[in-house]
Amino acid sequence: MPFPIINELEIRTLASSKKAYELGVAYALKGRVSQLSHDGERNLISAVVMGTWLYEVEIILSRNGSIHSCHCTCPAFAEYPGACKHVIAALKAVQRKLTGSQPRLAVVKESVADFMALFANPDPKSVRETLNLEFELQIEIHRRVHAQLQIKVGQNRLYIVKNLEEFLAAVQGGHLLTFGKQFTYDPFLHTFSDEDHTIIHMLQEMSKQYEAFNEQRSFHYASPFSQKPFVLTEYYLGKFFDALGAKHFSLALTSSRGGLPELSPSLQIIRQDIPLDFAVQSKEQDLTLALQSKLPLQLTDDGRYYLYDQNIHQVSPVQQSYLPNLIKVMSGKKHQTLTFPDHQKDFFASEAIPLIEQMGSVAIDPQLAEKFVREELQARIYFDRMGEYGIRARLEFHYGDHIINPFTSQTGANRQEAADSQILIRNIERERKILGIFEQAEFIVSQGVISLEDDEKLFDFITTWLPQLQDCAETFYSDDFKLTIRTSTSFSGRVRLDESSDLLEISFQYSDIDRDELTQIFHSLQVKRNYYRLRDGSFLDLRQPELESMAMFLEHLNLRGEDLNEQTLRLPKFRAMYIDSFLRQANLPGIQRNKAFKQLVQSILEPQDGEYDPPPSLMSVLRDYQKTGFRWLKTLAAYGLGGILADDMGLGKTLQTLAFILSEKLSSPALVVAPTSLIYNWQAEGEKFAPGLHILVVDGSPQERQEQLKGLVQADLVVTSYALLRRDIETFAQVDFSYCFLDEAQNIKNPQTLNAKSVQRIKAKSYFALTGTPIENSLAELWSLFNFCLPGYLLSHQEFQKKYSTPIIKDGDPLALRELSRHIKPFILRRLKKDVLKELPPKIETEIKAALTEEQRKIYLAYLQQTKSQIAQELATHGFAKSQIQILAALTRLRQICSHPGMFIDNYTGESGKMLLFQELLEDSLAGGHRVLVFSQFTSMLDIIGEYLHSENIDYFYLSGSTKALERSRMAASFNNGEGQVFLISLKAGGTGLNLTGADTVIHFDPWWNPAVEDQATDRAHRIGQQNSVQVIKLLTQGTIEEKVNALQAKKKKLIDSVIQPGETMLSKLTEEELRELFELN
């Protein structure tokens, strides 16, 4: 559809303020409007406008084409009456879409018609006129340089810019600025040349710096941009000269000293050196240096710009460095001449003349020139041994027959007697380079000789500084000077699995290094030294890749240098996969592996190729990825190892485990420990898929459990809960189980809890953890799981924190992260639904924001203000560690207000914005035939929702922490069979272990800190058996702490995949900085 004609007067009237109109025009000019479209049937104009964020704009037109209403998603639109700048930008963009097919636009006023005519042109830029911009600079020279700038702008006639601040704002903001009756700057009609834009941009940056400077001061300075004349400091005068480029300008000079040159009415900066002429002559025994050119006038502090001979020069870095001092010295001298006494002749010849020749031309008196001696520098260094391990050196600078030792007091005085009248010009730059190398190498000077004894400094000298000296000097060595650097070693070794002892054996040796020196060598590597001095006096360069790799290998296996004194190292076989991975990555071909070792590694890393077949009764039931999981469990168990089956929620970890148990010839029962809510789910799944297994569920009163435990040994599979295991641990600890499985193993994530300590007492051949979220909040949780599955594999808890947790979480150390991943990867099997269930319907996730109601907003803001001051005082008084309970309580209260103030305010009769939105979403979902799961962490919120559902006669189920395990199973089965339209679930109580594929819509009423918990809850519906797409809706309250919680989730999710395979989440606990950010206390 063609775009309608938008009346300019109507746009101006609609704008909430003049500022909003001007900014909207500027946004349109800068192309910030995108996705502009017109729906003629709905009379709707829509667009996306780039402001601080991307905002969506909708404008509804009346039938006669006038603007009926408008809307924008920006905060300002809801806060102020009238149209915001984003709406104005969209309307101006519509005007610009109008083409030449409308030759004349009917509007009310002639001025508006003229303005609108611009938009009738297909290309507005093509009619914009380039304005003339002239710069008049006035410089007053007293003790310092004072510069004033006047700018004129216009077309044929130029107008003085009286207020530079207003002018710069108009250009940047794209709004009108009137200079007189005959001229108004209009961004739609006028533009500037590229060279003028450069100067304008410089002035705008200057203005911003003044504003920033003022904001940091306790009192306010008047901006020079709003004053006339506009004053330029020497610093900004230089910036102005830079920006001028090749542009002409006018300059007026005044000085209290007089004698200023006449200037051309139009100048250009000459960007080349000032042509200076110098003369060197004899004066009796002395030398004189005269500047025969006029003395330049320095205009800027940095020495880049000078006034010279009616022009302004930008000089080269050489003149910039030396001209300021030259002017300072010469300005007080008669005839601009300096005199150098006889004893400074060598200095003058060697130091001053080379520099002066870089600054300009130098004329030397012919008779004097004959006395100057220019010889090529030949530097010679003589090295010798000093003591047992040190070295010494003698340095000589040779200029023909002149020999100079820079470290004796005779420097410069040991010329031959016959050459007294000669003046030696030395290569000072090269001399200083050589001396600088010795200084950096930290040589000590004594009696004309320099020496070095420290081992570390010697190694650095030989490897770093000596090659540099050899490039710029001749080096000579005595027969005793023998310092060698060994940069290669002959390395070999082997790794084997000893099947009789069930241990790994590692041996290696360096053929050209004594074994009893290996301990000290690897100690030096661990403390990050670059060398080790061997007993024969030579240096072993420790920066060799093989040595560094071996040091890292020992460190990550928690071995010490002393262990290398043993001919063979013995390690647990669970280290095999890490060792194989490390050796391959480090490219250490000298280490051989035996067949048993290779077979162990291949079997665990490639379980899909394993020789184990699932039980015949389940062969057609198991999916391919489940068969791989089965083989993985079998392989680990065959080697007496354990692991973590970390498949995504809903991928059948229970079924894979039952298949494994069914396949084993059990001499003793297997044990499954699960949350209370899931123990009967294990029984039901077992009866369905493995009816041949004798399953014993230990549950009930103490007397009932005691009776059940009497038959424990006769069972194939024993199932109990974490809570009951703690109570009956003395009985369970006496049984030798075949295998132990922990379902929802995150229940032992805290190694200090009774859950974790109880399962550690269980005796079994192998241990396995089943969990969709091996890490929820910290790496310590991962350690706790491994400490159950493979005790000792991830070191002690303290060592793990020091080696991995702290470097990864606090320092973001990629090396520690890589090494931890290499350790754990073989023992965690994780598959994601999106990768293995291609037939599973998609999961569509949406965030919808609700606005606070007016009454709700007042409560929220009042409580927020009160809370911020209380928490700030609490942190100041007691510190972060002792304030966490109060902080989290305040956060919880704010989040409750966001959901519904009625959760803690008695007799609250007002509305909740989120509840109103929820009611609307629920009505639409139920009307569309969908069935809904609603999760909240607050049971009081679920109670409020339940009351609403009851009042609307909507059938629902309600599951909370008080719901019994059998009742949970009954409710889930009933819902999946079609009973009820809504299932209200407490996030903590029902986030795991439920199969609710009867729902296809999931609503998270309030955000939780940990996205993994929300994902678990969502996967109650999005799992095997789901036939429909699952719509996941997260409700957030706009402009509140909920948005910040959501942002914190996103920030922490960046660590996804960093340790566990794709899809897992690793979070560190809330830091003080994050909590301060939530309350804006920074």
The domain limits of the chain are 8-123, 129-255, 277-370, 373-483, 486-603, 617-836, 843-1079
Question: Which superfamily does CATH assign the domain made up of 843-1079 to?
Answer: P-loop containing nucleotide triphosphate hydrolases (3.40.50.300)
Q: How far apart are CA 753 and CA 723, in angstroms?
A: 12
Distances (CA, A) of 703 to 258, 300, 696, 709, 730: 114, 96, 16, 10, 15
Would you state the structure tokens that stand for residue 653, as one six-digit string? Answer: 């970890």
> What per-residue confidence (pLDDT) applies to 1058?
53
- The pLDDT of residue 645: 95
Q: Which two tokens stand for residue 554?
A: 């020992």
* CA–CA gap between residue 21 and residue 36 (Å, rounded): 19
Instruction: Please state the rounded mean pLDDT for residues 1042-1050.
Output: 76
Name 717's bridge partners.
670, 695
Q: What is the mean pLDDT of residues 346-352?
A: 79
Distance CA 193, CA 130 (A): 6
**Which of 99-113, 256-270, 514-528, 805-819 is predicted most confidently?**
805-819
Amino acid, res. 607? P
- Residue predicted with more confidence, 665 or 736: 736
Angle subtended by helix axes 1041-1052 and 1072-1079, to nearest 10: 150
pLDDT in tens, 378-434: 999 998 888 777 888 999 999 888 888 888 855 444 443 434 567 888 888 898 899
Tell the CATH topology of 617-836: Rossmann fold (3.40.50)
Query: Pick from 305, 308, 313: which is nearest to 296 by CA?
Result: 308
How many Cα atoms within 13 Å fall on the side-chain side of residue 130?
8
* CA dist., res. 206 & res. 739, Å (int): 74
Lowest mean pLDDT among 127-136, 222-231, 284-293: 222-231
Alpha-carbon Rg for the chain, nearest whole angstrom, is 42
Distance CA 1071, CA 1077 (A): 10
814 preceded by a cis bond (ω within 30 of 0): no
pTM (2 decimals)? Answer: 0.52
Pairwise pLDDT comparison (513 vs 122), residue with the higher score: 513
Q: How far apart are CA 673 and CA 789, in angstroms?
A: 14
Q: Give Cα 735 distance to the centre of its chain.
A: 51
How much of the chain exceeds pLDDT 90, in percent? 25
Can you tell me the distance from the alpha carbon of 395 to that of 450, in angstroms, rounded to the nearest whole number? 8
- Where is pLDDT greater, at 284 or 642? 642
Query: Each residue of 899-944: pLDDT tens digit?
Result: 999 988 888 888 998 898 899 888 878 877 888 999 998 999 999 9
Cβ atoms of residues 741 and 788 within 8 Å = no
Q: How far apart are CA 794 and CA 792, in angstroms?
A: 6
User: Which of 853-857, 998-1002, 1029-1033 is predicted with the least confidence, judged by mean pLDDT?
Assistant: 1029-1033
Residue 844 DSSP one-character state: E
Q: How does pLDDT run across 207-257, given as a tens digit for each residue? A: 888 777 766 665 555 667 777 778 888 888 999 999 999 999 998 888 766
pLDDT, average across residues 734-749: 93
Asked if 90 and 45 count as a contact pair (C-beta separation under 8 A), the reply is yes
Of residues 2 and 10, the one with the higher pLDDT is: 10
**How far is Cα 718 from Cα 33, in angstroms, rounded to an integer?**
66
pLDDT for res 356:
87
Instruction: Tell me the average pLDDT across 698-710.
Output: 91
Output the pLDDT for position 110. Answer: 37
- Over 90: is that where the pLDDT of 594 sits? no
Integer Cα distance of 521 and 533 in angstroms: 9
Q: At what angle do helices 624-638 and 653-663 cross, to 10 degrees?
A: 50
Cβ atoms 776, 1013 nearer than 8 A? yes
Distance between CA atoms of residues 807 and 1068, nearest Å: 12
**Per-residue pLDDT, 1076:** 64
- For residue 1053, give both structure tokens: 């999710």
Distances (CA, A) of 1050 to 135, 615, 1065, 1066: 52, 43, 11, 12
Q: Are 308 and 294 in contact (CB under 8 A)?
A: yes
Whether the per-residue pLDDT at 125 is higher than 50: the answer is: no
Percentage, residues of the chain above pLDDT 70: 88
H/E segment holding residue 386:
strand 377-386
Q: How far apart are CA 1011 and CA 1050, in angstroms?
A: 9
CB 7, CB 66: distance < 8 Å: yes
Mean pLDDT of the chain: 82
- Give the pLDDT confidence score for residue 742 in this predicted structure: 96
Q: List the one residue out of 166, 185, 168 whose CA is nearest residue 176.
A: 185
Looking at mean pLDDT, say which of 204-218, 428-442, 514-528 comes out highest: 428-442
Q: Do domains 617-836 and 843-1079 have the same CATH topology?
A: yes
Taking phi over 0 as left and psi of -120 to 50 as alpha, with beta for the rest, 705 belongs to alpha
| Predicted confidence band of residue 768 (pLDDT cuts 50, 70, 90) | very high
What is the pLDDT at residue 114? 38
Q: What tokens does 786 get?
A: 């491994």
pLDDT score recorded for residue 329: 87
Least confident of 246-250, 698-702, 1019-1023: 1019-1023
Beta-bridge partner residues of 768:
643, 741
Calpha distance 90→107 (Å, rounded): 20
- Distance between CA 628 and CA 633 in Å, rounded? 9
pLDDT tens sequence across 912-924: 988 988 998 888 7
Side chain identity at 821, as an amino acid letter? S
